[in-house]
Amino acid sequence: MQHQNNGIWVSAEDLNRDDAFLKSAEQEFSIEELADAPTGWRPSRRDFLKWMGFSVGAATVAASCEIPVRKVIPYVTKPDAIVPGVANYYASSFVNGSDYCAILVKTREGRPIKIEGNSLSSVTSGGTSARAQALVLSLYDTRRLKHPGTIEDGQVKKLSWKALDEKIKGQLQLGGNVRILTNTIISPTAKKVLDEFVAKYPNTRVVSYDPVSHAALLTANQVCFGVRGIPTYKFAEADVIVSFGADFLGTWVSPIEHARDYTSRRRIHSLDKPSMSRHYQVESHMSLTGSNADMRIQIRPSEMGAAICALYNEVARATGAPTLDGPTLNEKAQAALKKAATDLLALRGRSLVVCGTNNVMEHIIVNKINDLLGNINHTIDFSVLNNLHQGDERDLVRLIHEMNAGQVAMVIVWGANPAYELPNADEFKQAFSKVNTRVSFSTVMDETTTLCNYVAPTHHILESWGDAEPKTGHYSLIQPTIAPLFDTRQAELSLLEWADSPNLNRQAEQPYYEYLKAHWTTEMKAKQSKYATGMAFWDMSLHDGVFEVPPAPRTVEFNPNVRLNPAAVTQPGSGKVEIVFYETVNIGNGQYAHNPWLQEMPDPVTRTVWGNYLSIPVEWDGKNKMTGWMGLEDGDKVEVEINGRKQVCTVVRTFGQAPGTVAIALGGGREKGGCGVGYGVNVNPWLPIDGGFIQYFAKEVKISGKVGVEKNFACVQHHHTMGLAARDAEGKRINADEEVLAYQGALTDRSIIFQAHVNDLPNLRKKMADFHQHASHLNEQTLYPDRTDYFSIGPKWGMFIDLNACIGCGACQVACVSENNVPVVGKNEVARHHEMTWLRIDRYYYGDLENPRIVYQPLMCQHCDNAPCENVCPVNATNHSSEGINQMAYNRCIGTRYCANNCPYKVRRFNWLDYTTADTFPANEERLFRVEEGDIPFYADNLVRMVLNPDVTVRSRGVIEKCSFCIQRIQEGKLTAKREGRPLEDSDVRSACQTACPTGAIVFGNLNNPNSQVSQAIKRHEELAYQVLEEINTRPGVRYSAKIYNA
């Protein structure tokens, strides 16, 4: 072999051109060696492929652990109205006993997932409440009854509807007395159904009461004006408001409506000529309404009668009416009421006195005060009555008597839960057991249903047809937004069925729909003239959700024959300590205790969750210490004894709780029916009954010393004050915050809250101007580049929150939870400060230490343009958009929590545990709260998961989350505008908190658009607007206005 490479050799043999070498070199790629390989099996390409195929296959099989499969099934035939990924909104109504709200139900792929307000209603004007916002969750309650049946030992034994109907009809035909026990029914059609039923079975009587009674008010109006009804209170027209314990912003009569009207007079429309209403609140505990008042007048609950008489006397003296010899009132309150009377008398006809007690004479005297002030027919309008409270607990006395006497053959319980709600529940239960047939329409196995022998579960309201007349001439429709989830039947339909109604079209697919429509296309249509045909009228009404008839003006006269009897008002008690029972905005009298969203919404004032707590006064030692009454601390347990009944309650210290009084909310200690079981104590058995009326206070209460400490005392806010003044031992005014924190300027100098008296606006404006100057001086030293240009390309999102319009009701918070799939974490976790709410409503006491005011501050991610959180994330999981939004990439987050530490506002939330069951290991799924049957975690159930908003990622364990400014809504709005080829408008993008707010305190929008609502609002409030912690140069996208009061 001749070398091709000249003169290059590889070895001596090569150089010598050795034969053997040459031979082997020729056979460099010899196949003989392969041929010499062991005979038998020889690997081939095919074998290689076979073995590889087997290995990969085996590895795949071996490695494929079972992971949960959640199926997504496409529509076989797409329903007309549904475009996957696009939400549909249906107008409907939220009606539950005394609660009403005109709503729009947002549905996605046929699932209701969110409640919005219906702005067409003049009652609620698009506002909502926390209770309304939480409605969707109760639809997906796993403890809902799933079919009709008989109840044996507290368990439902399934029956078919037909079998049930036969049994009940059989009983009805025996002709015994039938009683239908309900809460207030405001549905005209349901009333018609009841009429039909009564017509068929004439021995029937409908007995209704309200979970929280307004019976005395109704009775007093009957006596004074000849109208058994609640008038419309025009808070928007009242310059002076005096409320005797009426929580009109939170729970009393029509809170959504009142909140809107009230705050319209609390905003600062003009800095130079501010006009604000002045609000006096006479009460013992710090109610939501009292917390917003300019002046709270603290009394013991048994002094309410005395306080009303005192105000009456002041007014009567000025107007020449005869004075009353009422009970004596403490001097401080007396003096304050004198001032209130002066204000009232100066503005006759433009003032309002309301009363929230349940004593007829007190209401009569208050009516008289309003009469003397000329408010009747002006700020108190009887032409439009409020129908939400029509019940009268005195009817129950008769019912119990009848039942005990064996005169009642059947009781049908519809909506009510007397075995829990009544003070004399034991008496009721005993009498109830003597009734032969006990039927319940309840949707869950509550305390009363357990005692029944038949249950005919009704639909959830989101599955129902119906209507409502919350106020005279204000009609509202209820339409189903989902097919019934379970084998339930609407209560109205059951009644019609049992009454063998001839008006019921049993062949129809939805018989009650036909029935309702028939009523609307005939009787309701006659109330209007706009639509000629019934069908057009029906379609439009259903589309709008509401139908309003202008009220006929009605004036009333105070009956001159009414005698004011000061002896009939509440007489001051002699007990050392008195107790107040009050209703909270979230739980009511236990009706909402089974809704985890509402349980986990902190009480606006005490900031506690999951249960009711005994509020005790805070005492000031005159030097530097605020201590709980009797030295008790938050979370201490005490034994409370009223009328010989003892219960252990957990204490929470509450500023503004009148000395010598304590208070506890209704609605705790539910025994049956859902996740609220076992949280708090049931205070209903403690409620005294006076003259047939349930009283929401007790004059004599014995409280033991500390008997223990509640480990899971769940309160989201440890610190309470933001500038309290107190008096020292010599009576000199001192700054209590300074003394307690022993450090000057500790809180009030922080740029978190600015507040001032309305007459002190010039000073405030100067103070704020100085502050802005100071802040900008500091901020000019920044090393950060100016990014104004960066944000000027597209929209720049921002928010404005008017603290004068925020009443602290919490609707926004629940709306946020609903919109953004914020997990529920349960009491234990909240007690450990692991709550997940993106939006919280901070509550600070300010003013006088012994009788403070409250400022509420909704605080969410401030979307800082110089966000401290963004710098410190090692993996860039949180960053800034050119639209000014601080964005969170959950998938990128590794959970170092540095961002949460570095957030000055502490609004970032970490998924400490697997709250949403987004992880695949069932072992991680936390049992958040006690469940009656089947121990499953809250979000693990497929039913509950239906409430999740598909547009928002469900976050897994170990990642940070926070307010996104409802980025999904922004995106949707931008796309809509783009698709329609027009600039973005305010109406395209509205955040969930904004739409939920009953008072319009939250405005959201594009700051780059000078005409947007938010730009306008900031401009209007320019001198009072500020950013929280402005001087640390975070440049937040949220602005607040200073809180102004008019004491």
Partner 1 sequence: MSQPVAPVRHVLIEGNKTYHQISEDLCAPTERAPSREWILAFSVASAFTALYAFAVVWTIWKGIGEWGVNRTINWAWDITNFVWWIGIGHAGTLISAILLLFRQRWRTGVNRSAEAMTIFAVICAGQFPLIHMGRLWLAFFIFPFPNTRGPLWVNFNSPLLWDVFAISTYFSVSVLFWYTGLVPDLATVRDRAVGLRRKLYEIFSFGWTGSAKHWQRWESLSLVLAGLSTPLVLSVHTIVSFDFATSVIPGWHTTIFPPYFVAGAIFSGFAMVQTLTVITRKALKLEDYITINHIDSMNKVIVLTGTIVGVAYLTELFIAWYSGYIYEQFAFYNRVFGIYWWAYFAMMFCNVVSPQLFWSRRIRRSIWWTFFLSIVVNIGMWFERFVIIATTLARDYVPSAWSYYRPTWVEIAIFSGTIGLFFFLFMIFTRVAPVVAIAEVKAILKLSGDQYIGPKAHREVQPVTQQEVIAKYQDQN
Report the interface residues with partner 1, using CB under 8 A: 717-719, 721-722, 741-743, 745-747, 749-750, 752, 829, 832-835, 840, 842-844, 857, 859, 868, 871-876, 892-898, 900-902, 904-906, 909-914, 921, 923-924, 926, 957-960, 1028-1029, 1032, 1034
For residue 265, give Cα distances in angstroms to 26, 274, 595, 1018: 107, 10, 33, 19
- Residue 469, phi then psi, degrees to nearest 5: -130, 80
Angle between helices 491-498 and 161-173 (to 10 degrees): 50
Pairing of the two strands 1025-1026 and 1002-1006: unpaired
Is the CB of 542 or the CB of 960 nearer to partner 1? 960
For residue 634, the minimal CB distance to partner 1 (Å) is 11
The encoded tokens of residue 55 equal 């290995």
For residue 258, the minimal CB distance to partner 1 (Å) is 26
Is the CB of 621 or the CB of 749 nearer to partner 1? 749
Is the CB of 262 or the CB of 856 nearer to partner 1? 856
The encoded tokens of residue 334 equal 């007396």
The encoded tokens of residue 1006 equal 């594009």
Handedness of CA 476, 477, 482, 487 (dihedral sign): positive
Is the CB of 790 or the CB of 912 nearer to partner 1? 912
**Contact (Cβ atoms closer than 8 angstroms) between residue 556 and residue 227:** yes
**Contact (Cβ atoms closer than 8 angstroms) between residue 175 and residue 352:** no
Is the CB of 710 or the CB of 842 nearer to partner 1? 842
**Contact (Cβ atoms closer than 8 angstroms) between residue 420 and residue 592:** no
Is the CB of 224 or the CB of 839 nearer to partner 1? 839
| Rounded distance between C-alpha atoms, residue 601 and residue 592, angstroms | 12
Is the CB of 855 or the CB of 885 nearer to partner 1? 855
**Contact (Cβ atoms closer than 8 angstroms) between residue 967 and residue 885:** yes
Is the CB of 237 or the CB of 842 nearer to partner 1? 842
Pairing of the two strands 408-414 and 474-478: unpaired
For residue 696, the minimal CB distance to partner 1 (Å) is 30
For residue 971, the minimal CB distance to partner 1 (Å) is 20
How many other CB atoms sit within 10 Å of the CB of residue 993? 26
Is the CB of 583 or the CB of 737 nearer to partner 1? 737
For residue 955, the minimal CB distance to partner 1 (Å) is 10
Alpha helices in 757-845 (DSSP H): 761-779, 811-819, 827-831
- Residue 691, phi then psi, degrees to nearest 5: 60, 30
How many other CB atoms sit within 10 Å of the CB of residue 315? 25
Residue found under tokens 């699932």: 111
Residue found under tokens 């607007």: 1025
Is the CB of 422 or the CB of 877 nearer to partner 1? 877
For residue 842, the minimal CB distance to partner 1 (Å) is 4
For residue 32, the minimal CB distance to partner 1 (Å) is 42
For residue 592, the minimal CB distance to partner 1 (Å) is 25
Coil/strand/helix, residue 500: coil
Is the CB of 601 or the CB of 703 nearer to partner 1? 601
| Rounded distance between C-alpha atoms, residue 356 and residue 342, angstroms | 22
The encoded tokens of residue 534 equal 């019934």
For residue 871, the minimal CB distance to partner 1 (Å) is 5
| Rounded distance between C-alpha atoms, residue 739 and residue 743, angstroms | 7
CB-count burial class (<10 Å; 0-12, 13-18, 19+) for 387: buried
Is the CB of 136 or the CB of 877 nearer to partner 1? 877
For residue 898, the minimal CB distance to partner 1 (Å) is 6
Buried b (16+ CB within 10 A) or exposed e, 230-258: bbbbbbebbbbbbbbbbbbbbbbbbbbbb
**Contact (Cβ atoms closer than 8 angstroms) between residue 179 and residue 205:** yes
In sequence order, what are the residues at sequence separation of 6 or more whose Cβ sits closer than 8 angstroms to the Cβ of residue 60? Answer: none
Is the CB of 672 or the CB of 909 nearer to partner 1? 909
Residue found under tokens 């003009």: 270
| Rounded distance between C-alpha atoms, residue 804 and residue 800, angstroms | 12
For residue 27, the minimal CB distance to partner 1 (Å) is 42
Of 772, 781, 812, 804, nearest in space to 966 by CA: 812
Of 971, 715, 994, 962, nearest in space to 839 by CA: 962
Is the CB of 290 or the CB of 635 nearer to partner 1? 635
The encoded tokens of residue 565 equal 């009897």
Is the CB of 372 or the CB of 855 nearer to partner 1? 855
841 forms beta bridges with 858
Is the CB of 135 or the CB of 1028 nearer to partner 1? 1028
Strand arrangement of the beta sheet that strand 88-96 belongs to: 88-96, 99-108, 111-117
For residue 453, the minimal CB distance to partner 1 (Å) is 45
For residue 877, the minimal CB distance to partner 1 (Å) is 8
For residue 740, the minimal CB distance to partner 1 (Å) is 12
For residue 884, the minimal CB distance to partner 1 (Å) is 19
For residue 628, the minimal CB distance to partner 1 (Å) is 17
For residue 882, the minimal CB distance to partner 1 (Å) is 18
Q: Where are the beta strands (DSSP E) in 387-536?
A: 408-414, 437-440, 454-455, 466-471, 474-478
Is the CB of 667 or the CB of 723 nearer to partner 1? 723
